[in-house]
Amino acid sequence: GAVVSQHPSWVICKSGTSVKIECRSLDFQATTMFWYRQFPKQSLMLMATSNEGSKATYEQGVEKDKFLINHASLTLSTLTVTSAHPEDSSFYICSARWGADEAFFGQGTRLTVV
């Protein structure tokens, strides 16, 4: 299958700082990227869907000013967690696809806010 790479794999940041997570499609162009958050022993919750060149569509209850998503090119989307707090600590996973094709998932980023 196609490869989606997330960076970093894990990050620890201080409360109040911002952290950026990158999601890259390595061998295909992604018109759509999805961002998910997963708390321990829970399912993946869709945070937002981003289409290249457009503003992201956020799910209900997700603060768009706190979780900034930029899908600036067909191979890169970024999620910036602004003014992070301990409750933002989670596993963040991105997914990417071309058009209506199968979606492929990144390896995830474990964020710990201390």
Partner 1 sequence: ELKVEQNPLFLSMQEGKNYTIYCNYSTTSDRLYWYRQDPGKSLESLFVLLSNGAVKQEGRLMASLDTKARLSTLHITAAVHDLSATYFCAVDMNRDDKIIFGKGTRLHILP
Burial class of 77 by CB neighbour count within 10 A (0 to 12, 13 to 18, 19+): buried
Q: Does 46 bind partner 1 (CB under 8 A)?
A: yes
Q: Whose Cβ is closer to partner 1: residue 58's or residue 82's?
A: 58
Q: Does 67 bind partner 1 (CB under 8 A)?
A: no
Binding segment toward partner 1, per CB under 8 A, in 16-24, 65-73, 76-84, 94-102: 94-102
Considering only 57, 73, 83, 112, the residue that binds partner 1 (CB under 8 A) is 57
Q: Does 62 bind partner 1 (CB under 8 A)?
A: no
Q: Whose Cβ is closer to partner 1: residue 88's or residue 108's?
A: 108
Tell me, rounded to whole angstroms, the distance of Cα 31 from its chain centroid: 15
The beta strands (E) that lie in 1-114 are given as 4-7, 10-13, 19-25, 32-38, 44-51, 57-58, 67-73, 76-81, 90-97, 104-105, 109-113
Smallest separation (angstroms) from partner 1 to the CB of 16? 27
How far apart are alpha carbons 68 and 55 in whole angstroms?
Answer: 10
Q: Are 105 and 94 in contact (CB under 8 A)?
A: yes
Which residues of the chain form contacts with partner 1 (CB under 8 A)? 1, 32, 34, 36, 41-46, 49, 51, 57, 93, 95, 100, 102-108, 110
